[in-house]
A and B are shown apart, each in its own frame.
Chain A
Amino acid sequence: MRPSLQQLKKALTGILGNGGAGFIEAHHELTLEVAAAQLPTTMRRLRDELSFDALIDVAGVDYRDFVDRDPEAPRFAVVYHLLSTRRNWRLRVRVFIEDGTALAVPSMVPLWPSANWMERECFDMFGIAFDGHPDLRRILTDYGFTGYPFRKDFPLSGHLEMRYDSEQKRIVYESVTIVPRDNVPRIVRGPHYGDDTPMSPSPDEPKG
């Protein structure tokens, strides 16, 4: 698959003309980072000139708790996965949404109809709006749901729980009673964890 990745890179530099800036190549996959303002034109050129005929996936990402994140970097991003069935290429396009601006990116529905539900899902889960979307409603959460569940500041147990109240003879919503617990804490080891380098002596120990 490597030669086709090189071809894709060459073709991308050809149409974008930025000398390969903004590409990230890892694990034989190519990621292109685009500013929100350039998104519609770039995506249109990708579709029309490089025959990326299918939009496979739209994913929101909340980078709030990402380890070693640049504190100045934007919190939210939208990630698109494109596929060209004609040339057998895949491309990932990422758009960061600058903090302090409206949490919105242009909708891709005019280019690929498949974006419709994927963008609705992203809106539902992260609260990211898509300008120009024909029908931006919540899709997966319950009717009347508030909040954006896949954001990192939304607790895993949620805020409300519902039950049937036999006295009132109706469903009632209450604050959750579940105490949040994490049996296995999140652990991030540095890239050199487990290397055979001798540990530096702690300052308390007498130096021999």
Chain B
Amino acid sequence: MGEYRYQLNFGPQHPSAHGVLRLVLELDGEVVVRADPHIGLLHRGTEKLIEHKTYLQGLPYLDRLDYSSMMANEHAFCLAVEKLLQIDVPVRAQYLRVMFDELSRVMNHMLWIGTCALDLGAMTAFLFGARERESVFDIFEATCGARMHPNYYRPGGVYRDLPDRMPQYKSSLRSAEELAQMNANRQGSVLDFIDAFAKQLPSRVDDFETLLTDNRIWKQRTVGIGVVSAEQAVAMGCTGSMLRASGIAWDLRKKQPYAVYDRLDFDIPIGTAGDCYDRYLVRMEECRQSARLIRQCVDWLRVNSGSVMTDDRKVAPPPRAEIKTDMEALIHHFKLFTEGFTVPAGEVYAAVEHPKGEFGVYMISDGGNKPYRIKLHTPDFVHLSMLATMAPGHMLSDVVALIGTYDVVFGSVDR
């Protein structure tokens, strides 16, 4: 006690700093007096890099921002470009986008609960989370070839439709029964696999809840910690589950619907206390709602076929077969993949309800084939900025709970 204050460097290599956060803490005993987060250790200048690339070349950078919910990032970028180009996206592509957005949300929350519980001393949740994520990775891989950085959405639609077959496990080391069990829900199409995944998901979420919701240690670490009042949350720029945990039913999927969210049925969970525990409960319920959304999309996609890419040849490449016979198609293909498409001059802001909050893309075009300026608004940057005001008065161990429930990924904090 008294005047002596201890200065502690938390990170950048600390596992519960969730990446490369250097947090300079001033402690009085174990109580935090001042917290100064130093970010930017992962700063890559994504915005400037995209300004030097054509729109199609810029798209993969979006995957590398928040690398735990990649598809949602791509969605915001595509919405911004489509708004500037004033093109329509086929409905089937919009359903696919919503489905993959929700799969990303599940994937993000599974990583979040896994790592957050690990920080607060629970090991099993991480293993459960990794298991669910593996299924989503398999879906991504089957659909677009990449697991982590799918680069699946395109301005004007998505890269391709879902494949007819779900890849199966092959092994010379495992027994036939074991393989048959592993491949049990991989017998049909990718859509069948997604359907099975979504049907099973609520019970998998229950597994987490059995582990944590009434767990005495978990509650001691989270209940009443890091309380954000509703007014404070709005003034601090909170969005997404951070804002909803404080009791404000704000969700862009409902309030400013994009894609086909206005045709789907789902609820928005909100919290009452705005503490770490409520954020946990809100995110768990969001996983269940995502399962509902995914199943609605699956049902729609089963009965409705159609194109998944706009047929505007100034934006979307022509089919391969057409290139062989049609001169115009050949020219379009060549122009698209050499100089890219040009976007009319103007500026737009497109936002999506990202798993972490509002992810926005502010894009200025001067009529060129590359964006003139792109500003990426990432929710976790804003949420982490709250730490300096939230942490003082908490114990050192609570800072871990705070960072954990802010759900930060440094790819998108630092950009």
Contacts and interface: CB of A to CB of B under 8 A. Distances in A.
B236 interface: yes
Interface string A153-174: 0001000000000000000000
Contacts of B347: 26, 31, 92
Given A56-B360, A184-B340, A114 B237 contact: yes
Contacts of B250: 85
Contacts of B235: 53-54, 112-114
A139 B382 CA distance: 13
A86 to B, nearest CB: 9
Contact of B344 (A54, A65, A156, A191): A191
B360 A57 contact: yes
A149 B255 contact: no
Interface in A173-193: 182, 184-191, 193
A114 B385 contact: yes
Contacts of B340: 184
A79 interface: yes
A188 B375 contact: no
Given A79-B362, A140-B40, A140-B43, A67 B368 contact: yes
B346 A81 contact: no
Residue among B348, B364, B375, B389 facing the most chain A CB atoms (10 A cut-off): B375
Contacts of A139: 39-40
Interface in A187-202: 187-191, 193-194
A188 B43 contact: no
A61 B39 contact: no
Given A81-B377, A113-B236, A188-B342, A57 B362 contact: yes
A108 to B, nearest CB: 11
Contacts of B239: 54, 56
Contacts of A116: 385
B369 A184 contact: yes
A184 B414 contact: no
A118 B382 CA distance: 8
A204 interface: no
A68 interface: yes
Contacts of A88: 255-256
A105 interface: no
Contacts, number: 126
Interface string A76-102: 000101000100101010000000000
B367 A191 contact: yes
B362 to A, nearest CB: 6
Given A26-B346, A31-B347, A59-B375, A187 B339 contact: yes
Interface in A130-160: 139-142, 149-150, 156
Nearest to A58: B375
A27 interface: yes
B14 interface: no
A162 to B, nearest CB: 14
Interface string B348-389: 110100000010101010111110110101000110110001
B40 to A, nearest CB: 4
A43 B45 CA distance: 30
Contacts of A118: 382
B194 interface: no
Interface stretch (B24-32, B49-57, B179-187, B396-404): B49-57
Contact of B360 (A81, A117, A140, A156): A81
Contact of A114 (B348, B373, B382): B382
Given A53-B234, A81-B360, A114-B385, 20 more contacts: A1-B256, A27-B346, A29-B348, A31-B347, A54-B234, A57-B375, A61-B373, A67-B345, A68-B345, A117-B382, A150-B47, A156-B52, A182-B52, A184-B54, A187-B339, A188-B369, A189-B342, A190-B367, A191-B344, A194-B314
18 contacts: A26-B348, A27-B84, A54-B239, A56-B239, A56-B360, A57-B375, A66-B366, A92-B349, A113-B236, A117-B385, A139-B40, A156-B52, A182-B52, A184-B53, A184-B369, A186-B370, A187-B339, A188-B367
Interchain residue pairs A-B with the least CB separation, the first 6: A114-B237, A140-B40, A59-B375, A117-B385, A140-B43, A57-B377
